[in-house]
Amino acid sequence: MSTAVSPIVSVSEILAAVAAGRITPERAAELIPSPQRGGRLWCKVSPKRAISIYGLQRMPVTLYIEQWKRLLDFGDEIRKFAGEHDAQLKRKARG
């Protein structure tokens, strides 16, 4: 059974691909988005083996591990910059 699959956009298409034997149930579980919602952040390994963060915005933020490490190492600078420019920054309502 092959795990290669063309881009699949809906859960029903993923389930159809499993039923047709085009992908494994394990691969389907990776492709189906987690139902976690409510403002919580959650991670998933993307099809290209990068880390995707869900819950920040409509689309996931996806970076490769080296990029995440570099960004996380820069976290103190982001906090400092945000503090220094607080009055200039817009707040977006969560939702």
pLDDT tens by residue, 40-49? 888 999 999 9
pTM: 0.57
pLDDT band at 95 (very low <50, low <70, confident <90, very high): low
Kindly report the average pLDDT of the chain as a whole number.
83
Q: 92 or 94: which carries more pLDDT confidence?
A: 92
Rounded Cα–Cα distance for residues 48 and 51 (Å):
9
Distance CA(61)–CA(20), nearest Å, equals 31
φ, ψ of residue 45 to 5 degrees: the values are -80, 125
